Structure 1
């Protein structure tokens, strides 16, 4: 069975650089597909590359939701030109696994597809421009960003409070603010967001809860 990654291209813009399409079609590790091919393909790893039109983001969100419902095994990568924090939260809530800026090189885009197919939920490659824009749009304070860094690593409120020398109630307040600003509380989304903001990972593993 082929080890290639099947790629479904959705809402391809007319002004897409021809080099992008050529790279997707000719890179040996990738195999472009039509949605009708998905039911019959023997490829185990499938990624939908959805191009987001920020002027009609509702259409993109609906497309992602429909893809997620019709093809649960698809991993979804959203490509965009300009993305606000609110847009990012909406994309994650709709079922997007990762996002990437269209301004990246074709090789970067292909690398993102391969990384996502390998199980990574992250922005690839990291974009300083997106990090700054997303953090500013979300309005995270430095303390909220630090709390997010620990929460995304799986630490409990109590563990976060101990490591940051805060009260548990304060951490709970920060967590509520994060939920309000990001419109999500799911660990998967917090992990993605922390990586997209360039927050350094917490290397120490969270300690198991005592019973």
Structure 2
């Protein structure tokens, strides 16, 4: 059996759900570590989980940059509540390997850490990874990523439903899930997010809405 993945928790918020830390500490595949352990363990088995405070995002960017400089091969996962496309881009530019919404289930967070330690679900810029893998970093399912691709192109729920052979109600459900996981529903943020995730653009223009 391979060694457990070491998880360095950085800037843990005071209001963090106790279930999150309990999950990270009790899963046999994971082991929480201290910053001093960065020099001891193999970097390919270490993931830094950095919690981003959107009110002080510059501090988070500085912390990520310092971690990346200290341990270039360290995998870095940023957890956020709400980010604009520009802020997401800044995180990636600072050295973040993947991002995930704090609102997700603790098991989703753990799965993202394990995937990152295994070299999966890495975000390094537009088009760097297939959409299915990039979406996993935010906890998106492949279908949600596909819905995001159409919504970011300006298609209505009805048009998305027709294109993907889904019911309008199903698309509405996917849209609600996207809002919960990405903490945004604004078109400009969806466009930026789709670009950051490397989702292929929809080339055909959306039809004008019928009144």
TM-score (structure 2 length as normaliser): 0.63
Correspondence for 2:188? 136
In the TM superposition, what is the alpha-carbon distance from 1:136 to its structure 2 partner?
2.0
8 Å CA contact 1:12, 1:50 repeated in 2: yes
1:125 maps to 2:139: yes
1:64 maps to 2:64: yes
In the TM superposition, what is the alpha-carbon distance from 1:137 to its structure 2 partner?
2.4
Q: Distance in 2 between matches of 1:54 and 1:3?
A: 34
Correspondence for 1:194? 198
1:79 maps to 2:79: yes
Q: Distance in 1 between matches of 2:139 and 2:17?
A: 19
SS at match of 1:96: coil
Q: Distance in 1 between matches of 2:20 and 2:58?
A: 25
- 1:67 to 1:135, Cα distance in 2 relative to 1, 3 A: farther
Correspondence for 1:47? 47
**Aligned structure 1 segments of 4 or more residues deviating by more than 4 angstroms:** 131-135
Count of residue pairs the alignment pairs up: 148
In the TM superposition, 1:96-115 aligns within 5 A as: 96-115=96-115
Unmatched runs of 5 consecutive residues or more in structure 2: 123-133, 141-176, 202-211
8 Å CA contact 2:47, 2:75 repeated in 1: yes
TM-score (structure 1 length as normaliser): 0.63
- 1:67 to 1:139, Cα distance in 2 relative to 1, 3 A: same
